[in-house]
Amino acid sequence: MFIDYTKIIVKAGDGGNGAVSFRREKYVAAGGPDGGDGGNGGNIYFQVDKDKNTLIDFRYNKKFKAKNGENGSGSNCNGKYGEDLIIKVPIGTVVKDVETGKVIADLSEPDKKELILKGGKGGRGNSHFATSTRQAPRFSEDGERGEEKELILELKLLADVGLLGFPNVRKINIFVSSNRCKT
């Protein structure tokens, strides 16, 4: 089956939250804040795959989501970044936004890779908010949400039509004569 038009929903990953943690060691009298940052969410990329020639893969699977970033932890440990999601499409695919109708990407070159949605940024831990007057902050930032959109995927096709023969040869007569029934 040949599919050349479909709608999908894509969502980039959310950023991880920053941590609220304090340094506690036996021989350290004044431990301070040591909350780590949250990891960034995964991005969504569209990449041209030369082995595909139709959008049949998107007929039943219409929702795509990148991984979220992990939360930060104590000892200034940052959260892991979310894994990026790469969606493979055939050459000649046009990606449009459903709400605006604007073309986001035109993937008409081989092995082209384009960023479609950015993941959310991770939040900062409480160690970033320590100052000389506020030495023990008990708060941190939450991670940002990743972008989410409904997209239209259209496959533009190019048909190569050609006639064989020298320019002065009457091609129409050759075509008609070959289609006549023999009696």
| Level-2 CATH architecture, domain 1-183 | Distorted Sandwich (2.70)
* pLDDT attached to residue 8: 93
Confidence band for 178, pLDDT divided at 50, 70 and 90: very low
pLDDT digits (tens, 9 = 90+) for 129-164: 888 888 888 889 999 999 999 999 988 865 444 545
Whether residue 169 has pLDDT greater than 60: no
- Contact (Cβ atoms closer than 8 angstroms) between residue 174 and residue 94: no
**In contact, 143 and 120? CB cutoff 8 Å:** yes
Locate the domains of the chain by residue range: 1-183
- What pLDDT is stored for residue 176 in this prediction? 42
Q: What is the pLDDT of residue 155?
A: 86
Bridge-based pairing state of the strands 5-11 and 44-48: unpaired
The DSSP letter of residue 130 is -
